Amino acid sequence: MICKNCGAELAEDALFCKNCGSKVDSVNVSATAGATELMPVSITDSVGRTEEPVAEDTEKKTEVTVAVSGAAKQQVKKKSKLPLIIGIVAGVFAVFAAILLVTVTAVIIFSGGIGKTLKAAAYVSDDTLYVIKDTTKKNPDVLGVCELDLGSDVSGEYGLPDSLVTWTDDGKYLYFFSELDNNYEGTLCRVQVSRLGKDKNKNEKMIEEIEDGVATWNVTYLSNNDLLYVTKKGRLNYYNGKKSEEIAKDVSGVVLAEGGKAAVYSSDEDVEGNFTINYLDLSNMKTQEIDTGVNCISGVMQDAVYYRKAVNDTDTGLYVCDYNGGSPQEITDNLESEAVYSSEGFYYTEYLSGSASLYDFIDDPYAEADDMVEEPVYPTQEDAFRQVDYTRAFSKRYDELATGGRYEGRVDFILDNCYSTTIGENYYYTLYNEDDGNYYYYDAENDIFYLYDENTYEDLKDDYDAALEEWYAVSDRKGLRDALKDYEVNLSFVSLNYYSDGKSEVIVPECQAVVYPWHEGNEVFAFYQEADIASVEKLSIDDIDYAFEAADELGFGYDSYSRYGELYYAYGSEAGQDLGVEGCLSDWDVSFENRKAAVQIKTKNNRGDVQVEAYLFNIDGTKLVQDEGFDDAAEGVAAITDDKVYYIRNIDESDESADIFVYDGKECEKFMKDVSLYKYAAVFGDGASFAIDSDGKAAIYNKKGEEELRLDADDPVFNYISIRNVTYLSDGKIYHYNGKDSDKIASDVDRVWFNGIMDGLYLSVW
């Protein structure tokens, strides 16, 4: 597969691009430069676009986030397009990032009421860029801008990349790439939208070619319509709308800082893949070196940058340095993972030494009995012998011959008339008693007669088969037991630390399975489990066949976050609080603004089947208090607002559907029925909604829940202004719906980029 954003090669099962960080199956509602991604991401991912300047007191309380192009300023943490500096995705936080890609609770708020509603759209058709200044007009003008001369493989399996076209925040300019080759490098251009007319030839003359040899992911758009970009040769340039100024050479990536007033960039990659990071003041274009030998940037805050460096071949250090050229401070030289950064404080974990045998976590009731089991021996005929008196062995006729004829006795008769045979190491004479139909064996050496019971022999063989089957099972268990005992695992126990005001504090000396929810503002949470062997729920030896399988099931393998146990949480520096539920924390959504937290817990029943439950908590100071009125049949939370919680119930994996319910703090009511799983839904500010049904078809519904407009697509692209004002792409055609009819605006559309505001929130359905 190819990343549709940057063109990098993707693994078949990739959830996100390791090159640019984009979600592989990204959702595209308004198609404004990736504005519709459904995952909350770390501060490291907030790269490539600055937010609107905010008040000074607000800036000091918030991390740098990413605003999307045009007026569609969705409050979205946008993924980084820089391969160097994605510390959380590229480092030990990769599992956490992968979990977030598939969560139920990824909540994204469409911005509401910010600026005026813009109704423009740009689209590409047959390699030509077009602009529609107002899609809501009857028969709007479609303005041809220019031929793009795209490479033959640029569209690829997933279509044209998001970053091919970008609206500026005010909608005045359209940035785009022409002559984009199959490596996603081309000529970066822009055009002033207001100057575009019906004459395509005149429009082409108004295009400003900024630079060629620029990759789509190597552009950082600024709120003042200027931009930073890195060329193919690694030269960092600042474009001010008129000309480009070269800032630095050998640059690998850029992160905006201080609300977009500055940037941190990496340069001078060495043979070991480490970089020098530098601070760039955008007001005067002055650069100051921060540190060298940097592995990746972890977080960019108002006054300082956090980053990682290799301490040795196995250990990683976490450092912080302010922008004033102060000396870098080492926070830890034993970093395991780190949380989203906040100006007040953040969490990180350190590795703890310690290992155990995997067998310590196995429930094995057979060990003592297995040691007593010996390999069975196949039965011989002697095993079916039963000693009898000689009178049983002789028939009446043979008895008369042996005692009344020429023989001196029965033994004489046997030696003269009976066949000898060897059974095992012993010799026997065989007698057939015609009176009772049985065979008898005579041991001449010991003068003993035996009855051979064929039924007994068959029973012995059946017993042997059963014993052999048991022996095989015992042998398999012994082999598995030995492998489990030899399998030494790192306990994955860590210390949970809280860093604030330049100081670190160990708040949980030993814990495991730590996760960090995305935070808003300065409040931070961490969930974790106790770090003792007894807290790890044991796995039955009956349920595994291989040691590596047990390691994965117990959370010591690849799926290292799937441990079951009692859950605890920390709020700021206050830790050790019992959440009151047990299991594996597989999903979470914390809204400090709305003072609510939701968690999705996986548990196993007695049969080993995985069950999923969702719990809702109210944030009371620094405590999580379970909301007893919340639906105990909830299986996941889709969104949290100030007065409602949207959640998932009735999951049907067979047709990949579920119902969405809403909880208002008092009642739980069904909101949407048979919504497609692994997709998303939306609730708009006017009460209307959007969903994809179990058949994979999308529709918009009015506030009464009645279908208003069917979009007939499983990955719809649309711009919602009101229930009677929707522009959308369907089957390669752009339509505008006016409340009665859908008027076609354009045909043969390969990709559209809307520039508009949508007021509402997403409901991510698992």
Read off the pLDDT of residues 621-640 as tens digits, 9 standing for 90 and up: 999 999 999 999 999 999 99
3-class secondary-structure state, position 277: strand
SS3 189: strand
What is the per-residue pLDDT across 660-677, written as a single tens digit (0 to 9) for each?
A: 999 999 999 999 999 998
Phi, psi of 371 (to 5 degrees): -65, -20
What is the rounded average pLDDT for all residues in the chain?
A: 81
**How do beta strands 128-132 and 120-125 pair?**
antiparallel
pLDDT at position 95 is 27
The pLDDT assigned to 557 comes to 64
Report whether pLDDT(560) > 90: no
Q: How would residue 409 be classed by pLDDT, with cut points 50, 70 and 90? A: confident
Q: Are 176 and 128 in contact (CB under 8 A)?
A: no
Note the pLDDT of residue 13. Answer: 44
For 444-466, the three-class secondary structure string (H helix, E strand, C coil) is CCCCEEEEECHHHHHHHHHHHHH
Q: Tell me: the pLDDT tens digits for 564-608?
A: 888 999 999 999 999 999 888 888 888 888 999 999 998 877 776
Give strand pairing partners of 700.
Answer: 690, 709
431 neighbors 443 (Cβ within 8 angstroms): no
Q: Which of 80, 69, 113 is nearest to 3 (CA)?
A: 80
Domain residue spans of the chain: 361-486
Rounded Cα distance between 293 and 315, Å, is 14
State pLDDT tens for residues 154-196.
988 778 999 999 999 889 999 999 999 999 999 999 999 999 9
Query: Which segments of 649-721 does DSSP mark as H helices, in order?
Result: none
Q: Which residue has the higher pLDDT, 150 or 40?
A: 150
| 420-434 confidence digits (pLDDT tens) | 888 888 999 998 888
Residue 208 near residue 191 (C-beta atoms within 8 A):
yes
Q: What is the mean pLDDT of residues 705-725?
A: 88
3-state DSSP assignment of residue 577: strand
Nearest one of 705, 579, 598 to 103, comparing CA atoms: 598
Buried b (16+ CB within 10 A) or exposed e, 205-225: eebeebbebbbbbbbbbbbeb
β-bridge mates for residue 334, sequence order? none
| Phi-psi sector, 185: left (phi>0), alpha (psi -120 to 50), beta | beta
Phi, psi at residue 412, to the nearest 5°?
-55, -45
Give residues with Cβ within 8 angstroms of 360, minimum separation 6: 533
Within 10 angstroms of residue 291's Cβ, the number of other Cβ atoms is 16
- Report how far residue 494's alpha carbon sits from residue 508's, in angstroms, rounded to the nearest whole number: 9
Question: Which residue, chain included where needed, has tokens 């697509």?
Answer: 713
Percent residues over pLDDT 70 in the chain? 83
CA angle, 329 then 334 then 336, to 5°: 115
Q: Is 231 helix (H, G, I), strand (E, B) or coil?
A: strand
* Residues paired with 690 in a beta bridge: 682, 700
486: three-class secondary structure by DSSP? helix
Full 3-state SS string of 579-634: EEEEEEEEEEEEECCCCEEEEEEEEECCCCCEEEEEEEEEEECCEEEECCCCCCCC
> Coil, strand, or helix at residue 291?
strand
State the pLDDT confidence band at 118, using cuts at 50, 70 and 90: confident
Torsion of CA 700, 702, 708, 711, to 10 degrees: 0
Average pLDDT over residues 199-225: 95
| Residue range 462-475: mean pLDDT, rounded | 94
pLDDT band at 280 (very low <50, low <70, confident <90, very high): very high
CA distance linking residue 190 with residue 206, whole number of Å: 9
Q: Where are the beta strands (DSSP E) in 339-455?
A: 346-351, 355-357, 362-363, 385-388, 419-423, 426-433, 438-443, 448-452
Could you tell me how far CA 233 lies from the centroid of its own chain? 34
Q: Where are the beta strands (DSSP E) in 312-384?
A: 316-322, 329-332, 335-338, 346-351, 355-357, 362-363
pLDDT above 90 (res 376): yes
Q: 596-604 and 610-620 as β-strands: parallel, antiparallel, unpaired? A: antiparallel
How far, in Å, CA of 532 to CA of 463, rounded? 45
Give the SS3 label for residue 503: strand
The closest alpha carbon to 124, from 720, 754, 756, 748, belongs to: 748
Going by DSSP bridges, is the β-strand pair 244-248/251-257 parallel, antiparallel, or unpaired? unpaired
Q: Is the pTM of this model over 0.75?
A: no
Q: Which helix (H) or strand (E) holds 393?
A: helix 390-393
User: Rounded to 10 degrees, what is the CA torsion of 112, 118, 124, 128?
Assistant: -160
Helices and strands, number each (H, E), in the chain = 10, 51
Q: Which residues contact 518 (CB under 8 A, 6 or more apart)?
A: 40, 41, 42, 77, 340, 590
What pLDDT, on the 0 to 100 scale, is given for residue 377? 93
Separation of alpha carbons 151 and 186, rounded Å: 9
Exposed / middle / buried, residue 728 (Cβ in 10 Å: 0-12, 13-18, 19+): buried
Cβ contact 52:65 at 8 Å: no
For residue 513, CA distances in Å to 96, 192, 459, 531, 547 come to 11, 51, 54, 9, 21
Output b/e per residue, 296-320; b: 16+ Cβ within 10 A.
Answer: bbbbbbbebbbbbbeeeeeebbbbb
Whether 556 has a pLDDT exceeding 70, the answer reads yes
Token duo for residue 132: 């529609």
Does the structure show a pLDDT above 60 at 85? no
On the question of pLDDT at 151 being above 60, the answer is: yes
Q: What stretch of H or E contains 479? A: helix 454-486
Whether pLDDT at 23 is above 50: no
pLDDT band at 58; cut points 50, 70, 90: very low
Can you give the pLDDT at residue 500?
92
The three-class DSSP label of residue 566 is: strand
Cα 268–Cα 270–Cα 276 angle in degrees, nearest 5: 40
Q: Residue 10: which pLDDT band, with cuts at 50, 70 and 90?
A: low
Residue 231: which pLDDT band, with cuts at 50, 70 and 90?
Answer: very high
Mean pLDDT score, 692-707: 90
Task: Say which residue, 714 or 612, is predicted with more confidence.
Answer: 612
